[in-house]
């Protein structure tokens, strides 16, 4: 589904990613974990076109999308729920969701039934349904996270990128978010999940990659990595 | 100075030392000689007058360059300042019959006062807001000049008699240069004024003031945190610029012998901006070239034959440039199609028209567009790019660079019992969000104290509270120095820097267009005692201070390992070196407390090793360090004590080892396994 | 008292024109953090273009053509003046470029339509109506109605149509808008087109009650900027309030002090507001991120 080879990217003079290789098979959840500054969000941004890769290739279903602008990447079915949620604060919950389907409404992607998908989103996130006409900027952090995920799903994406969904959320809400991720997993939604909090991510992913200083340190089935001391060392230092 | 590292984005290899100083001197000599003999070679009084206007405009544009080139702001109000100067002189004559010299004094004085007035609304705004503020200012000036008829004679304007430059009858003599010479007195006066202006501007931009102007353009935040008050220096820049505009205005009034309100409007302001941009910012030659262009242009445009010839030449040049680009398969050859096409179209257009004077402003508009996109550094900048030896000499270039004195002033109170910094229940609330929810922090002198925590835990907020960028919602920050302590919360970054707290930034905030040496010199700003007049007059005190501080700055650069790169512009340094330079700049403040915000971010392993060595040396000199870092190895290896934040609370504190093993900390970083109903399946 | 009411009434009409122009500034600033320093020239060109069409098709039919003209003009300004500067991240660039384009437009207009001010035929009777002791020109009513209608139309567009929502999304968060598949460059061009369109429309609204010429827009645009600052470059309602305040302040100044000083209150207001509260009265303070 998503094949990344030799990805290098950075900001200005700084190269943050030094040749990453990873894949996200169809229907699976892959986690990218690592401490802050390791390059997780930079990876997401390179995938969704927010920054331009300096080297390497990104193939979505065989098509090369590396270097495209984000609106083109969305057209090809990559939905990115960004770090910090970034919902549109002066638009209503409903409008936010509708905008998630923008390429479908303007002919860049097969249209399908947008209204039905919106109704589905409200089923999945009942709290959003209660607040459908409320301005997104007035929602709580947890609700905004739901909205960001729902908005990304409105694209009917080939792959869903979730960037630090638990950031800034209280533990109860983190549980809620991961319950939803599990639901989506059951529906075979292909996901790439970036999380600072390794444990939560490893609990829901099939496969995981540990990022450190812009390189993949090691990878493996998520189950196996849950108790691996090497994971803890990647975050808190100490012997590797 | 041999450079051992190839800069990543160097515009031109800085191999040859800049000949700019020598060229500058040569140019000055040529200018002086040229101006002196001009009226004897070209005897037409029309052209002499034209030269006078060019020189007067050049004075103003040199001043405008300080605002536009050095502080990097667009000022749309300089025609207004010009008008104030002109009217100050004219009004003095109208009401008090005072002549040229009084007029010059009044022009400079009154316009400087207006410069202060203009600086007030301009202080807190930048960019388009500043442009509008200056435009509004200029418009108001025009309106008031027009309306205050009793003072200014309103729309009718004021007529002045021929200027009396030197009155020899006062000493009972006749002018030694005869009647013909008398006519040229004004011309020579203006030339002298221009030369004096060049000298003054030169001195100012090479002084700490000039460095402060560039610093506030490159990074206002870093400027404030280095103790250089952005407000204060913005005012200086506006006042100096206004003084020169006032001088030019007064001279202009006596040159044209007539002032009227509608001559000092928007059109003139745009012409001045065109001149400074086309000539070349941050230079002395640029404003002079630009002035000549805008003064001569109407004359050129009036002669349609000349215009056609020039259009033909331009079209030919464009054709050549375009063809070469295509033949060489240059990357931007398609982007060149537009300007080349326009240049080519210009020629037949001039053939069709009988006169271009009506389209004078269109020509100016097109020139502005052309300059903005294809010649942003102006003619002087273009020449400098092609001939690297002519690029501007930075401060101290060509002078001996030796380090002298201790890089760091050793701080007393090495391992004292009393804390150096005490944070008491710091609360930082943004709307509903508590970035810091009541944090206590105690930092012992002479230690390296680490501040860690996952994303969003409040580390950077704490950093900003400590350095005055945020004012805490409640709580206190106290710094103990010598005898007595100081409350830091609520103070400006400038004041906190003066109290001895220096910092580096998460995203490097260097003064990009200044050299490494100049960056450190800005940090040393606090130790300059000289005033603006010292700078302008070039007094021995000024020169001595400059020498001493330059030596000290070199010592600091040597300390952080950048001695060989002193003359490299900050933006051309490799990333790792940029981070070290920021530390060096912070050390120039002679701080008791140094705050490092993720200094190891983005660094390679060898760079990190160098960094840790330097931080240890800093601590050994007695300077206390607070370190925010994500690189655990760095934190563990360096820090004496570590505090851990999570969600705005302090959740652990202790030695590095203790904190690393603390289960609360592990959970904060890795999160806890999320409860799920499917654990059975795991 | 009657005079006071009279002055306020005239001030309202003028104020709505300022609001309409300021509205245009907001549109482009919201999406691209830039604005057109030649907005006044867009207004003047709209009025002059309309003036040329009126003898052939009359006032009302001329309006849609002027709207199209303004729309196209905005796209040109964005393409030539703003986009290249934004690409190289040069603030100085788009400020000077839009100024330059404004100068060029004004000069070309002067050459086509002449330097003298022209009379724009009023579509409505020019005799004043008496409303409760106050004399109001029918055209002034049209100005207020037209300006409000236009701003309302744009608001409806923003709220109802998908492209309008895309414009709002881009103003909120340009990166996130890109992630939605929105071509934010097109949105920016669209916002410039709408902005110039509103200015051109304001031009044909105000032309019948004032002198029409190449220079009619310059001071209007500067004062409209004052209104945009007062109202905050991000807030919609603020410009209407700001425009009314300014319009009334001006007519009062013009009467009680002198017509020569009429333009001064707006400019002083601009300086004062920016000295105290750089984000404008209705603007939101930005939290610095270092």
Instruction: Express each pLDDT in B307-357 by its tens digit.
Output: 888 888 888 888 887 787 778 776 666 667 777 777 788 788 777 777 777
Q: In chain C, what residues touch A108 (CB-CB under 8 Å)? A: 181
Is a pLDDT exceeding 60 seen at residue B662?
A: yes
B519: pLDDT confidence band, cut at 50, 70 and 90? very high
Q: Which domain holds residue A85?
A: 2-236
Q: Which domain holds residue C32?
A: 15-218
Q: In chain B, what residues touch A14 (CB-CB under 8 Å)? A: 575, 602
CB contact under 8 A, B372 and C100: yes
Is a pLDDT exceeding 60 seen at residue B10?
A: no
Instruction: Report the pLDDT value the prediction gives residue A191, as an integer from 0 to 100.
Output: 95
Mean pLDDT of C238-242: 86
Residue B209 within a domain: yes
Using one digit for the tens of pLDDT, what is the confidence trace for B586-635? 999 999 999 999 998 878 888 889 999 999 999 998 899 999 988 888 88
Instruction: Report the pLDDT value the prediction gives residue B13, as an integer from 0 to 100.
Output: 36
Q: What's the mean per-residue pLDDT of chain A?
A: 89
Using one digit for the tens of pLDDT, what is the confidence trace for B443-499? 998 899 999 988 778 888 999 999 999 999 999 999 987 667 888 988 999 999 989
**Rounded to an integer, what distance in angstroms lies between the CA atom of residue B146 and that of residue B36?**
38
Residue B455 within a domain: yes
Instruction: Count structural domains, chain A.
Output: 1
Is a pLDDT exceeding 80 seen at residue C289?
A: no
b/e per residue B329-338 (b: at least 16 CB within 10 A): eeeebeebee
Query: Strand pairing of B485-487 and B649-654?
Result: unpaired
How many Cβ pairs closer than 8 A exist between chain B and C?
Answer: 130
Give the best residue of B572, B598, B674 to mutate against chain A (max A CB count within 10 A).
B674
Instruction: Report the pLDDT value the prediction gives residue C132, as an integer from 0 to 100.
Output: 74
CB contact under 8 A, B372 and C37: no
Higher-pLDDT residue of B181 and B535 is B535
CB contact under 8 A, A70 and C178: yes
Using one digit for the tens of pLDDT, what is the confidence trace for C47-87? 999 999 999 998 899 999 999 999 999 999 999 889 988 88
B7: pLDDT confidence band, cut at 50, 70 and 90? very low
CB contact under 8 A, B682 and A204: no
What is the DSSP secondary structure assignment for residue B324, as one 8-state letter?
A: H
CB contact under 8 A, A204 and B674: yes
Residue B84 within a domain: yes
Share of chain B above pLDDT 90, in %: 40
A179 touches chain B (CB under 8 A): yes
Gyration radius from chain C CA atoms: 19
Candidate from A10-19, A112-121, C178-187, C196-205 with smallest mean pLDDT: A10-19
CATH for A93: 3.40.50.300
Q: In chain B, what residues touch C97 (CB-CB under 8 Å)? A: 368-369, 372-373
B416: pLDDT confidence band, cut at 50, 70 and 90? low
Instruction: Count structural domains, chain C.
Output: 1
B35: pLDDT confidence band, cut at 50, 70 and 90? confident
CATH for B591: 3.40.50.300
A48 touches chain C (CB under 8 A): yes
Largest CA-CA distance found in chain A, in angstroms, rounded: 54
B440's enclosing H/E stretch is: strand B433-443
Is a pLDDT exceeding 50 seen at residue C272?
A: yes
Cα separations in angstroms, C72 against A29, B112, B238, C166, C238: 48, 45, 39, 20, 27
b/e per residue C124-155 (b: at least 16 CB within 10 A): eeeeeeeeeebebbbbbbbbbebbeebbeebe
CB contact under 8 A, A200 and B673: yes
Q: Token pair for residue A122?
A: 């409200």
Task: Please name the residues between 57 and 76 in chain A that touch chain C, using a CB distance below 8 Å.
Answer: 69-71, 74-75
Mean pLDDT of B387-405: 66
Q: How far is C76 from chain A (nearest CA, A)?
A: 23
Mean pLDDT of B394-403: 64
Contact between A48 and A161 (Cβ < 8 Å): yes
Q: How far is B205 from chain A (nearest CA, A)?
A: 29
Tell me which residue in A74, A89, A90 faces C180 most closely, judged by beta carbons. A74
Contact between C44 and C217 (Cβ < 8 Å): yes
CB contact under 8 A, B369 and C91: no
CB contact under 8 A, B670 and A16: no
CB contact under 8 A, B630 and A36: yes
CB contact under 8 A, A203 and B8: no
Instruction: Count structural domains, chain B.
Output: 2
Instruction: Report the pLDDT value the prediction gives residue B61, as an integer from 0 to 100.
Output: 96
Using one digit for the tens of pLDDT, what is the confidence trace for B90-113? 999 999 988 899 999 999 999 999
Cα separations in angstroms, B399 against B396, B419, B518, B550, B551: 5, 44, 14, 10, 11
Closest residue in B to A227 (Cα) is: B673
**Final residue of a structural domain among B254, B282, B310:** B282
Instruction: Report the pLDDT value the prediction gives residue C9, as an integer from 0 to 100.
Output: 86
Closest C-alpha to C48, from C196, C204, C224, C205: C204
A224 touches chain B (CB under 8 A): no
Give the best residue of A71, A136, A144 to mutate against chain C (max C CB count within 10 A).
A71
Tell me which residue in B636, B660, B670 faces A199 most closely, judged by beta carbons. B670
Q: Which domain holds residue B652?
A: 421-514+574-670
Contact between C59 and C142 (Cβ < 8 Å): no
Q: How far is C175 from chain A (nearest CA, A)?
A: 7
Residue C170 within a domain: yes
Contact between A1 and A26 (Cβ < 8 Å): yes
A90 touches chain C (CB under 8 A): yes
What is the DSSP secondary structure assignment for residue A92, as one 8-state letter?
A: B
Residue B310 within a domain: no
Cα separations in angstroms, C37 against A184, C62, C213: 50, 26, 18
Q: How far is C172 from chain A (nearest CA, A)?
A: 6
Using one digit for the tens of pLDDT, what is the confidence trace for A34-72? 877 788 989 999 999 999 999 999 999 999 999 899 999
What are the DSSP calls for C197-236, one per residue? HHHHHHHHHHGGGS-BSTTTTHHHHHHHHHHHHHH-TT-H
Q: Token pair for residue B612?
A: 């840790």
CB contact under 8 A, C261 and B376: no
Instruction: Report the pLDDT value the prediction gives residue B433, as an integer from 0 to 100.
Output: 80
What are the DSSP calls for C99-157, one per residue? HHHHHHHHHHHHHHH-SS-BPPPPSS--SPEEETTEEE-HHHHHHHHHHHHHHHHHHHH
The predicted complex's ipTM stands at: 0.90
Query: Strand pairing of A55-60 and A29-33?
Result: unpaired
Cα separations in angstroms, A231 against A197, A211, A237, B188: 11, 10, 10, 79
Is a pLDDT exceeding 60 seen at residue B299?
A: yes
Residue C256 within a domain: no
Query: Strand pairing of A215-221 and B624-628?
Result: unpaired
Gyration radius from chain A CA atoms: 17
Using one digit for the tens of pLDDT, what is the confidence trace for C98-157? 999 999 999 999 999 988 888 888 888 888 888 777 888 888 889 999 999 998 999 899
Tell me which residue in C106, C110, C264 faces B140 most closely, judged by beta carbons. C264
A13: pLDDT confidence band, cut at 50, 70 and 90? confident
**Final residue of a structural domain among B235, B257, B282:** B282
Q: How far is B348 from chain A (nearest CA, A)?
A: 41
Which residues have a Cβ under 8 Å from the Cβ of A229 and sit 6 or more positions away? Answer: none
Closest C-alpha to A180, from A141, A139, A149: A149
Closest C-alpha to B502, from B411, B635, B603, B440: B411
Q: How far is A222 from chain B (nearest CA, A)?
A: 10
| Residues of chain B contacting A, Cβ within 8 Å | 8-9, 454-456, 574-575, 578, 598, 601-602, 630-633, 635-636, 660, 665-666, 669-676, 678, 682
Is a pLDDT exceeding 80 seen at residue B400?
A: no
Tell me which residue in A48, A90, A105 faces C172 most closely, judged by beta carbons. A90
Residue C7 within a domain: no
**In chain A, count of helices (H) and strands (E)?**
11, 10
CATH for B138: 1.10.3470
Residue C289 within a domain: no
Residue B112 within a domain: yes
List the beta strands (DSSP E) in B96-167.
Answer: 158-159
Instruction: Report the pLDDT value the prediction gives residue B3, as an integer from 0 to 100.
Output: 34
List the beta strands (DSSP E) in B70-221.
Answer: 158-159
Instruction: Report the pLDDT value the prediction gives residue B11, as an integer from 0 to 100.
Output: 39
**Rounded to an integer, what distance in angstroms lies between the CA atom of residue C81 and that of residue C76?**
8
Cα separations in angstroms, B602 against A16, A27, B615: 6, 34, 17
Which residues have a Cβ under 8 Å from the Cβ of A107 and sit 6 or more positions away? Answer: none
CB contact under 8 A, C103 and B147: no
Is a pLDDT exceeding 80 seen at residue B427?
A: yes
Contact between B107 and B254 (Cβ < 8 Å): no
Tell me which residue in C172, C178, C181 faces A88 most closely, judged by beta carbons. C172
Mean pLDDT of B46-75: 93
Q: Token pair for residue C182?
A: 């929105």
Higher-pLDDT residue of B434 and B191 is B191
Which residues have a Cβ under 8 Å from the Cβ of B35 and sit 6 or more positions away? Answer: B51, B55, B191, B194, B195
Q: Token pair for residue C284?
A: 């939101």
Q: Is B422 helix (H, G, I), strand (E, B) or coil?
A: strand
**Final residue of a structural domain among B213, B247, B282:** B282
Q: What's the mean per-residue pLDDT of chain C?
A: 88
Closest residue in C to A82 (Cα) is: C176
CB contact under 8 A, B674 and A226: no
Give the best residue of B136, B275, B346, B358 to mutate against chain C (max C CB count within 10 A).
B136
Q: In chain B, what residues touch A235 (CB-CB under 8 Å)? A: 632, 669-670
- Chains with ≥3 CB–CB distances under 8 Å to C: A, B
A164 touches chain B (CB under 8 A): yes
Tell me which residue in B630, B672, B674 faces A37 most closely, judged by beta carbons. B630
Tell me which residue in A10, A199, A237 faces B671 most closely, judged by beta carbons. A199
Using one digit for the tens of pLDDT, what is the confidence trace for B207-247? 899 999 999 999 999 999 998 988 889 999 999 999 999 99
**Rounded to an integer, what distance in angstroms lies between the CA atom of residue B387 and that of residue B393?**
13
């Amino acid at each position: 589904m998503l094949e990344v080879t030799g990805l290098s990217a950075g900001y200005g003079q700084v190269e943050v990613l030094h040749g990453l290789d990873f894949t996200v098979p169809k229907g699976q959840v892959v986690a990218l974990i690592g401490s802050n500054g390791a390059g997780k969000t930079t990876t997401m941004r390179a995938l969704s076109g927010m920054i331009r890769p300096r080297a390497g290739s990104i193939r979505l279903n065989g098509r090369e999308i590396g270097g495209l602008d984000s609106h083109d990447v969305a057209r090809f079915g990559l939905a990115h729920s960004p770090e910090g949620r970034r919902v549109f604060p002066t638009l209503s919950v409903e409008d936010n969701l509708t905008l998630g389907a923008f390429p479908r409404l303007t002919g860049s992607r097969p249209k399908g039934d947008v209204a039905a998908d919106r109704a589905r989103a409200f089923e999945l996130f009942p709290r959003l349904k209660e607040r459908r006409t409320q301005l997104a900027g007035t929602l709580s952090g947890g609700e905004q996270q739901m909205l960001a995920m729902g908005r990304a799903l409105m694209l009917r994406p080939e792959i869903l990128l979730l960037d630090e969904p638990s950031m800034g959320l209280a533990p109860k809400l983190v549980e809620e978010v991961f319950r939803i991720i599990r639901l989506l997993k059951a529906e075979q939604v292909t996901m790439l999940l970036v999380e600072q909090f390794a444990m939560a991510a490893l609990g829901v992913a099939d496969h995981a990659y540990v990022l450190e200083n812009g390189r993949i340190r090691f990878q493996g089935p998520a189950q196996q990595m849950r108790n691996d001391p090497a994971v803890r060392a990647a975050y808190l230092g100490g012997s590797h | 100075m041999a450079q051992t590292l190839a800069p990543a984005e160097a515009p031109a290899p800085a191999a040859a030392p800049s000949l700019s100083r020598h060229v500058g001197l040569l140019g000055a000599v040529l200018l002086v000689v040229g101006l002196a003999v001009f009226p004897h070679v070209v005897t037409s009084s029309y052209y002499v007058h034209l030269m006078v206007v060019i020189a007067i405009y050049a004075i103003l544009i040199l001043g405008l360059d300080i605002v536009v080139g050095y502080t990097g702001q667009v000022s749309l109000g300089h025609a207004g300042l010009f008008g104030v100067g002109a009217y100050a002189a004219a009004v003095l004559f109208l009401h008090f019959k005072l002549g040229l010299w009084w007029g010059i004094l009044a022009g400079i004085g009154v316009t400087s006062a207006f410069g202060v007035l203009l600086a007030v609304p301009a202080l807190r705004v930048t960019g388009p807001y500043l442009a509008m503020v200056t435009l509004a200012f200029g418009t108001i000036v025009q309106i008031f000049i027009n309306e205050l008829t009793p003072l200014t004679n309103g729309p009718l304007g004021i007529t002045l008699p021929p200027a009396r430059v030197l009155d020899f009858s006062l000493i009972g003599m006749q002018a030694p240069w005869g009647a013909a010479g008398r006519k040229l007195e004004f011309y020579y006066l203006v030339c002298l004024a221009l030369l004096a202006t060049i000298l003054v501007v030169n001195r100012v931009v090479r002084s700490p003031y000039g460095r402060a102007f560039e610093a506030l353009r490159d990074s206002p935040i870093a400027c404030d945190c280095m103790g250089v008050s952005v407000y204060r220096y913005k005012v200086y820049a506006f006042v100096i610029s206004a003084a020169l505009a006032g001088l030019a205005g007064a001279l202009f009034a006596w040159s044209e012998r007539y002032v009227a309100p509608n001559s000092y409007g928007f059109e003139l302001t745009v012409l001045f901006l065109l001149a400074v941009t086309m000539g070349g910012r941050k230079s002395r030659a640029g404003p002079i070239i630009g002035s000549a262009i805008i003064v001569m242009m109407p004359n050129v445009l009036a002669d349609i034959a000349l215009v056609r010839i020039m259009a033909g030449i331009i079209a030919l040049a464009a054709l050549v440039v375009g063809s070469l680009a295509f033949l060489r398969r240059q990357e931007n050859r398609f982007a060149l199609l537009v300007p080349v096409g326009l240049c080519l179209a210009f020629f037949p257009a001039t053939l069709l028209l009988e006169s271009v004077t009506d389209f004078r402003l269109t020509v100016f508009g097109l020139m502005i567009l052309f300059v903005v996109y294809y010649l942003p550094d102006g003619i002087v900048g273009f020449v400098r790019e092609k001939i690297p030896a002519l690029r501007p000499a930075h401060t101290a270039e060509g002078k001996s660079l030796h380090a002298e004195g201790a890089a760091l002033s050793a701080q007393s109170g090495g391992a004292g019992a009393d804390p150096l910094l005490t944070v008491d229940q710091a609360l930082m609330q943004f709307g509903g969000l508590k970035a810091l929810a009541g944090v206590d922090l105690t930092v012992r002198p002479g230690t390296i104290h680490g501040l860690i925590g996952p994303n969003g835990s409040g580390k950077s907020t704490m950093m900003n509270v400590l350095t005055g960028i945020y004012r805490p919602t409640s709580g206190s920050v106290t710094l103990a120095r010598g005898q007595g302590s100081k409350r830091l919360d609520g103070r400006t970054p400038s004041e906190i820097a003066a109290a001895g707290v220096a910092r580096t930034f998460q995203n490097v905030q260097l003064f990009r267009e200044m050299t490494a040496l100049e960056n450190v010199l800005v940090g040393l700003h606090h130790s300059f005692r000289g005033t603006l007049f010292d700078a302008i007059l070039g007094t021995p005190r000024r020169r001595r201070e400059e020498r001493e501080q330059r030596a000290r700055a070199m010592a600091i650069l040597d300390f952080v390992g950048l001695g060989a790169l002193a003359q490299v512009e900050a933006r051309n340094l490799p990333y790792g070196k940029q981070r070290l330079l920021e530390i060096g700049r912070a050390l120039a403040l002679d701080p008791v407390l140094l705050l490092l915000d993720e200094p190891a971010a983005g660094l390679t392993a060898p760079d990190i090793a160098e960094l840790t060595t330097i931080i240890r040396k800093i601590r050994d000199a007695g300077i206390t360090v607070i370190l925010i870092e994500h690189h655990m190895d760095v934190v563990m290896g360096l820090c004496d004590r570590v505090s851990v934040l999570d969600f705005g609370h302090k959740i652990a504190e202790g030695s590095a080892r203790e904190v690393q093993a603390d289960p609360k900390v592990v959970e904060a970083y890795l999160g806890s396994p999320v409860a799920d109903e499917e654990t059975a399946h795991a | 008292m009657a005079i006071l009411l009279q002055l306020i009434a005239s001030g309202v009409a003028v104020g709505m024109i300022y609001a309409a122009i300021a509205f245009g500034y907001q549109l482009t600033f919201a999406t691209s953090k830039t604005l057109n320093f030649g907005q006044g020239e867009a207004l003047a060109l709209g009025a002059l273009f309309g003036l040329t069409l009126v003898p052939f098709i009359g006032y009302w039919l001329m309006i849609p053509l002027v709207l199209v003209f303004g729309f196209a003009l905005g796209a040109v300004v964005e393409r030539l003046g703003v986009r290249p500067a934004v690409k190289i991240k040069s603030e100085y660039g788009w400020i000077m470029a839009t100024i330059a384009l404004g100068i060029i437009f004004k000069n070309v207009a002067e050459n086509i339509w002449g330097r003298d001010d022209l009379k724009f035929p009023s579509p409505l009777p020019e005799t004043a109506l008496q409303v409760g002791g106050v004399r109001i020109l029918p055209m002034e009513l049209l100005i207020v109605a037209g300006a409000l209608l236009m701003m309302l139309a744009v608001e409806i567009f923003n709220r109802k149509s998908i492209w309008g929502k895309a414009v709002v999304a881009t103003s909120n968060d340009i990166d996130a808008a890109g992630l939605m598949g929105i071509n934010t460059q097109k949105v920016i061009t669209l916002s410039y087109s709408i902005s110039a369109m509103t200015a051109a429309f304001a031009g044909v609204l105000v032309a019948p009650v004032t002198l029409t010429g190449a220079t009619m827009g310059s001071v209007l645009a500067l004062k409209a900027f004052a209104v945009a600052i007062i109202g905050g470059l991000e807030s919609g309602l603020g410009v209407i309030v700001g425009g009314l305040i300014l319009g009334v302040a001006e007519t009062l100044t013009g009467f009680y002090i002198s017509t020569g000083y009429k333009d001064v209150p707006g400019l002083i207001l601009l300086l004062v507001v920016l000295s105290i509260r750089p984000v404008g009265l209705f603007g939101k303070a930005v939290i610095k991120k270092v």
